[in-house]
Amino acid sequence: MAAKGAAAGAGVLLVTANVGSLFDDPENLQKNWLREFYQVVHTHKPHFMALHCQEFGGKNYEASMSHVDKFVKELLSSDAMKDYNRARVYLDENYKSQEHFTALGSFYFLHESLKNIYQFDFKAKKYKKVTGKEIYSDTLESTPMLEKEKFPQDYFPECKWSRKGFIRTRWCITDCAFDLVNIHLFHDASNLIAWETSPSVYSGIRHKALGYVLDRIIDQRFEKVSYFVFGDFNFRLDAKAVVETLCAKATMQTIRAADTNEVVKLIFRESDNDRKVMLQLEKKLFDYFNQDVFRDNNGTALLEFDRELSVFKDRLYELDISFPPSYPYSEDSSQGKQYMNTRCPAWCDRILMSHSAKELILKSENDEKIVIYDHIGPNVCMGDHKPVFLSFRIAAGAGKRCLRNEKIFRETTL
């Protein structure tokens, strides 16, 4: 049961999860994933909960349709969620359209104790009261309760389509308006290319795409409100700086392809100690000899190389990170803490907010920790990404009011 006392503020839980692995190996991964997710819900007991998923349906959506349906049904009907009597689910299932498909899935759950919650209709430019449970899928472009875009093709590296874009919804809780944006940005295609420059060329592509989203959600079409942007940003550590630090006393061997002379592998060896291999770097290999550096003290020593958000410091705020890099974990269901040696571990999965949204978060009047930013399933295999969550309370009357005209609420229900 959700915490009482809505007058003291509504409890909110925001979760982002790249769930592609769950549909590639549903038998071994989904049960554990859902158990850990429900545990977080039980612990924080939110009144309002948003779950933003990326790569929903896995690498082959059409083959995963039955697993998708089962996953959605489980979330909506499980005993752990029985007190959430209203829900909205938005699934981009338009996998046959290369031009539009983003593989994003956004879930919103409302506790029975939460009264008077409204969602914005972007077409009618009105808030509508939320009742019942509804699922929207296939082509979301015609759904007026959200905005969905895939990034323009010239944003994509080498102009090759992939499933990257965003979905935006707007909500009114305790008479406070805010946007929730589900986002998936571009990944690093090659460790070798990422290592060449600081910042990497991929970092520049993500910078451009995130700027595009932020410009869209504060343009002149709608009233400006506070916003939370959470998803798989694919932010990576500055690879060149990380390698130079981890292998400061190493010598580098370059291996080239015989036919093209292209660099295909870098090997870093200790200068002494029998020339021990410290790091092997290939297009999709980042094999460092000591993974503990990414886990010790939650990887805090590496946060100085997490630099991609710094260019947005005037537009976006993030709470301090106190959890280890969220990607790339082993997809072996028996391994909960092991990283794959495909990429340098990084904090890809994040929950960011506008500076006005930061003010919405209810500050505790005592030493009780009300605002929590953490990851889910630290000791359990959750797929290659660990979900990340933010738990907080919105103070009654905080932020920009959305009850501008009571008539619009009485006129329409959703």
CATH number at residue 169: 3.60.10.10
244, part of any domain: no
Report the first-to-last Cα separation within the chain, whole angstroms. 24
Query: Which burial class, exposed, middle or buried, applies to 293 when counting CB atoms under 10 A from its CB (0-12, 13-18, 19+)?
Result: middle
57, part of any domain: yes
112, part of any domain: yes
131, part of any domain: yes
Domain around 307 = 10-236+294-335+343-394
71, part of any domain: yes
63, part of any domain: yes
Number of domains in the chain: 1
pTM: 0.94
204, part of any domain: yes
Cα–Cα distance for residue pair 152/267, rounded to 1 Å:
37
Q: How is residue 240 written in tokens?
A: 């060149």
- Residue pLDDT tens, the chain, 414 long: 454 444 467 999 999 999 999 998 899 999 999 999 999 999 999 999 999 999 999 988 888 888 999 999 999 999 999 999 999 999 999 888 888 999 999 999 999 999 989 999 999 999 999 999 999 997 798 999 999 999 988 888 775 778 999 999 999 998 899 999 999 999 999 999 999 999 999 999 999 999 999 999 999 999 999 999 999 999 999 999 999 999 999 999 999 999 999 999 999 999 887 889 999 999 999 999 999 999 999 999 999 999 999 999 999 999 999 999 999 999 999 999 999 999 999 999 999 999 999 988 855 444 456 899 999 999 999 999 999 999 999 876 676 666 544 344 444 444
Residue 144, preceding peptide bond in cis (omega within 30° of 0): no
Measured at the CA of 12, the angle between CA 8 and CA 18, to 5 degrees, comes to 170
DSSP H or E run through 244: helix 239-246
241, part of any domain: no
